[in-house]
Amino acid sequence: MTHLTKIVVLVISLLLGLTVSQSTTYPCPFYRSLSLASPVVSGDDVIILQGLLARSVPDLPISGIFDEFTEVCLMKYQSMYNIAITGILDVNTANSILLTNGDDGYTDNGQIPPGFKYKVHVPVYRNRSIETTATLYDDQLNVLHSFTVRTEGQLNTDGSAMNQFCGDGATPTGLMTFDLNSAEPDPAAFGPYPVNRAVQGIAGNAFLLISNVRDGILMHTGQWTGWNPSMPMPNSHGCVHGHPEDIDTVWNILTSNLNVYVRNNTFGALPYLYQPQGVLSIELID
Ligand SMILES: *[C@@H]1O[C@H](CO)[C@@H](O)[C@H](O)[C@H]1NC(C)=O
Ligand SMILES: *[C@@H]1O[C@H](CO)[C@@H](O)[C@H](O)[C@H]1NC(C)=O
């Protein structure tokens, strides 16, 4: 649009009491303008917006409802980053907040919270195409297995990687409970072995997302067509992908050495029926 056309559209929109719709250009997970409105706007996108805003304005509660205080915080954010102070999450503000506040700053503390039998630690790079080495620890923090993982999600239509706030994007960083579930019914997509399921976020972006916004985040393998272990693994829809040999080793160690039970697969049903037996800790290292 030319400058003049934009002004004309804006004026017409204002006259009609409408906001300019640019839904196709919002960066995932955002897809619409968010603002104080009547009736109030609510949804997962508001939860994520509030979670990200709270990194600049820490007393903002994450209610999932765009209320007056959310508007105030959004204006404060826009003022901090020299964006037009509108109190509206437009495309520009959405791009900005993902960039400036998307990192959770979560770091693994080298511990395992009490009551859990195992921890899987996964360092990740901003560029999720780079596969990394995950480590399986017991509750005394002994290293039981190290293995290659891939945490890249689906790609946007422009070829860029979907971020961790998108439904099919990269595996979220942070700390979350983790539990061994029986194998998924589709071995081609998930492998023939029991899988580990991310159950509930405890810290970082995982706290914001799992399982109220994103679920079905598993650690699994697959019988990937044309793939062999010398190759990078395929991208997932948010899961942690591992080589077949490693995913087989992990569940065998868990059940044989650590008395971890294989829970009947819940297929993401909430509330989760069992006490999670492990934790998954994913941290950004660049
Ligand atoms: C990300 O990493 C992959 C694998 O190492 C590499 O091929 C690609 O060029 C990297 N992308 C960027 C943007 O650095
Ligand atoms: C697991 O699922 C099977 C098949 O539905 C059922 O027979 C079995 O009782 C379940 N086991 C537990 C521990 O819930």
* Per-residue model confidence (pLDDT) at position 25: 86
CATH of the domain at 46: 1.10.101.10
Judge whether residue 7 has pLDDT over 60: no
Ligand 2 centre distance from Cα of residue 264 (Å): 6
Same domain flag for 165 and 267: yes
Q: Are 28 and 169 in contact (CB under 8 A)?
A: yes
Residue 2 scores a pLDDT above 60: no
pLDDT at residue 21 tops 90: no
pLDDT of residue 24: 56
94 and 153, same structural domain?
A: no
Same domain, 18 and 129: no
Closest residue to atom 9 of ligand 1, CA basis:
129
Name the residue among 153, 149, 157 with its Cα closest to residue 167. 153
Asked if pLDDT for residue 123 goes beyond 60, the answer is: yes
Tell me the residue length of the chain: 286
User: What's the pLDDT at 23?
Assistant: 42
Whether the CB of 228 sits within 6 Å of ligand 1: no
Give the residue-averaged pLDDT of 256-267: 98
Domain hosting residue 7, numbered range: 3-101
The residue whose CA is least distant from atom 7 of ligand 1 is 129
- Ligand nearest to the Cα of 262, by number: 2
| Better-scored residue on pLDDT, 42 or 5 | 42
What is the rounded distance in angstroms from the CA atom of residue 164 to the CA atom of residue 205? 8
Residue 246 confidence (pLDDT) above 80: yes
Q: Is the peptide bond before 211 cis (omega within 30 degrees of 0)?
A: yes
Q: Let me know whether 145 and 63 are in one domain.
A: no
Residues 57 and 150 in one domain: no
Measured CA to CA, the distance from residue 159 to residue 70 in angstroms comes to 33
Strands 195-203 and 218-220: antiparallel
Q: Does the pLDDT value for residue 190 go beyond 90?
A: yes
Contacts 24+ apart (CB under 8 A), 127-135: 127/161, 128/152, 128/153, 128/161, 128/170, 128/171, 129/161, 129/232, 131/232, 131/233, 134/240, 134/242
What pLDDT, on the 0 to 100 scale, is given for residue 16? Answer: 44
pLDDT of 4 strictly over 90:
no
Determine, yes or no, domain membership for 140: yes
Residues 80 and 159 in one domain: no
**Is the same domain home to 51 and 191?**
no
| CATH label of the domain that carries residue 177 | 2.40.440.10
pLDDT at residue 15 tops 60: no
Give yes or no: residues 87 and 128 share one domain: no
Domain boundary among 32, 66, 101: 101
Q: Mean pLDDT over residues 24-35, rounded?
A: 92
Ligand in nearest proximity to the CA of 265: 2
In a domain, 149, yes or no: yes
**Does 107 map to a domain?**
no
Ligand 1: centre distance to CA 192 (Å): 30
Maximum distance among all Cα pairs of the chain, rounded to whole angstroms: 70
pLDDT of 22 higher than 60:
no
CB 278, CB 253: distance < 8 Å: no
HEC secondary structure over the chain: CCHHHHHHHHHHHHHHCCCCCCHHHCCCCCCCCECCCCCCCECHHHHHHHHHHCCCCCCCCCCCECCHHHHHHHHHHHHHCCCCCCCCECHHHHHHHHHHHCCCCCCCCCCCCCCCCEEEEEEECCCCCCCEEEEEEECCCCEEEEEEEECCCCECCCCCECCCCCCCCCCCCEEEEEEEECCCCCHHHHCCCCEEEEEEEEEHHHHHHECCCECCCEEECCCCCCCCCCCCCCCCCCCEEECHHHHHHHHHHHHHHCCCCCECCCCCCCCCCCCCCEEEEEEECC
**Residue 277: pLDDT band with limits 50, 70, 90:** very high
pLDDT value of position 3? 53
Which has the minimum average pLDDT: 11-25, 71-85, 162-176? 11-25
Taking only the tens place, the pLDDT of each residue in 50-67 is 999 999 999 999 999 999
- pLDDT greater than 60 at residue 17: no
Instruction: Quickly state the pLDDT bin for 176 (edges 50, 70, 90).
Output: very high
User: Would 215 be classed as within a structural domain?
Assistant: yes
Could you report the per-residue pLDDT of 150-172, keeping only the tens digit for each?
A: 999 999 988 999 999 999 999 99
Q: Kindly state whether residue 209 falls inside one of the protein's structural domains.
A: yes
The answer on pLDDT for 120 being more than 70 is: yes
Candidates 130, 151, 163: which one to mutate for ligand 1, based on the most atoms within 8 Å of Cβ?
130
Q: Whose CA is nearest to atom 13 of ligand 1?
A: 127
Average pLDDT for 220-236: 98
Check pocket membership of 127 for ligand 1, CB cut-off 6 A: yes
User: What's the pLDDT band for 191 if we cut at 50, 70, 90?
Assistant: very high
Q: Is residue 53 part of a domain?
A: yes
Q: From CA 148, how far away is CA 89, in angstroms rounded?
A: 39
Q: Please state the rounded mean pLDDT for residues 115-129.
A: 98
